[in-house]
């Protein structure tokens, strides 16, 4: 990204968002529901969970961000293998980005998958290159979601198989999964397939974040209603391989970062908000009251989640939903806030492999 583009793009200094220690902020992120670090760089990608918010590219050294995908000619290069059912490039004015997935596909090249709610319910595919001073991206195609299914998070295996979570299938509500009822599932798109298919046995209360295990065999799904991470074996998803409970917080997104399988979310039992999330007259509390937050690291072998960092309620940053490690800093995303947050990675955590 050249200097001219940065000058024209959104690039706000942290002083525009006064810090709330221990948090410092970078303004203008527009509900950054998910964040992902580009490996080996100081760059971060943030989604924008609002119409037109799209993708933001974050320079973690300068503490600035810019609108990334703007639909310019050089940013559009359709891949014929992804033409089936896709009407054309995503409209930047509508682009409503939620879950993200970044997977290496070559030297200095990555596949970026993005859950999109803007103008269509789809998974948008981009190719990211880190061969220049600032990363660049090109839109390569999309795959529409099955009728009535609204995606939440996305991940992909090395063989190109894509997994997508659906939080609420038609006819279910947020209140349903808060009460522990089954509402969602995981859908799979196999290489060469024309459409997604439901993975039997993956139906959970609020299927939220999803991530692939490096063994290429297992995957992890956050069951938001259970406040737990559920492990599946891709060869047979009829029954979960494990269920790992979170200690007093509500995991949202899940991602490998800094060698750890991070989960991030709001405190479950927050005294400042009257305790547990409530359902009244069939409607779940939207959790606008600022809650404390937790970032945890999942240990699949020990079947536990260790606390990496935590904090008290912050007036300007509620709705923690994602975390990524860059250097000695935790970058935090939110499905509610108008900014990204950073906190120092606790000293004891810096020495972990």
Structure tokens at 138: 């090109």
Q: Is residue 351 part of a domain?
A: no
Assign residue 291 the CATH number of its domain. Answer: 2.120.10.30
Q: Is residue 15 part of a domain?
A: no
Question: Is the Cβ–Cβ distance between 292 and 279 less than 8 Å?
Answer: no
Look at the chain and report how many structural domains it folds into.
1
Q: Is residue 23 part of a domain?
A: no
Sheet holding 136-144, edge to edge: 97-106, 109-116, 122-129, 136-144
Can you give the pLDDT at residue 83?
A: 60
pLDDT tens for 124-179 read 999 999 999 999 999 999 999 999 999 999 999 999 999 999 999 999 999 999 99
Q: Which residue has the higher pLDDT, 270 or 353?
A: 270
pLDDT tens for 207-227 read 999 999 999 999 999 999 999
Q: Is residue 199 part of a domain?
A: yes
Q: Is residue 108 part of a domain?
A: yes
Per the prediction, the chain carries an average pLDDT of 93
Can you give the pLDDT at residue 7?
A: 34
DSSP symbol at 255: E
> Which secondary-structure segment (H or E) carries 4?
helix 3-8
Q: Is residue 352 part of a domain?
A: no
Q: Is residue 25 part of a domain?
A: no
pTM: 0.93
Q: Is the pLDDT of residue 285 over 60?
A: yes
Domain that holds residue 233: 31-270+282-337
Q: Is residue 3 part of a domain?
A: no
Question: Is the Cβ–Cβ distance between 57 and 1 less than 8 Å?
Answer: yes
> Minimal CA–CA distance to 340: which of 8, 80, 13, 7?
13
CA distance 70 to 59: 18
């Amino acid at each position: 990204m050249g200097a001219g583009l940065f000058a024209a793009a959104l690039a706000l200094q942290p002083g525009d968002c006064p810090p709330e220690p221990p948090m410092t902020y970078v303004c203008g992120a527009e509900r950054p529901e998910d964040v992902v670090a580009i490996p080996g760089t100081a760059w971060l990608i943030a989604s924008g969970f609002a119409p037109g918010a799209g993708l933001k590219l974050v320079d973690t050294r300068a503490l600035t961000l810019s609108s990334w995908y703007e639909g310019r000619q050089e940013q559009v290069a359709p891949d014929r293998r992804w033409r089936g059912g896709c009407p054309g490039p995503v409209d930047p004015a509508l682009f409503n980005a939620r879950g993200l997935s970044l997977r290496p596909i070559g030297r200095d090249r990555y596949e970026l998958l993005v859950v999109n709610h803007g103008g269509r319910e789809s998974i948008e595919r981009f190719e990211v290159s880190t061969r220049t001073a600032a990363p660049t991206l090109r839109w390569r195609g999309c795959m529409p979601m099955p009728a009535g299914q609204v995606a939440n998070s996305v991940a992909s295996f090395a063989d190109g198989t894509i997994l997508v979570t659906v939080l609420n299938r038609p006819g279910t509500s947020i209140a349903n999964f808060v009460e522990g009822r089954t509402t969602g599932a995981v859908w799979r798109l196999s290489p060469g397939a024309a459409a997604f298919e439901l993975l039997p046995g993956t139906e959970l209360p609020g299927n939220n974040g999803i991530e692939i295990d490096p063994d290429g065999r297992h995957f992890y799904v956050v069951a938001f209603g259970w406040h737990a991470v559920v492990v599946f074996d891709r060869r047979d998803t009829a029954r979960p391989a494990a269920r790992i409970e979170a200690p007093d917080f509500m995991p949202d997104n899940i991602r490998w970062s800094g060698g750890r399988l991070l989960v991030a979310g709001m405190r479950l039992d927050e005294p400042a908000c009257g305790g547990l999330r409530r359902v009244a007259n069939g409607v779940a509390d939207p959790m606008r009251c600022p809650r404390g937050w937790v970032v945890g690291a999942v240990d699949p072998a020990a079947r536990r989640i260790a606390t990496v960092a935590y904090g008290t309620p912050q007036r300007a940053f509620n709705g923690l939903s994602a975390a990524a490690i860059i250097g000695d800093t935790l970058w935090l995303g939110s499905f509610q806030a108008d900014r990204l947050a950073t906190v120092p990675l606790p000293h004891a955590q810096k020495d972990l492999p």
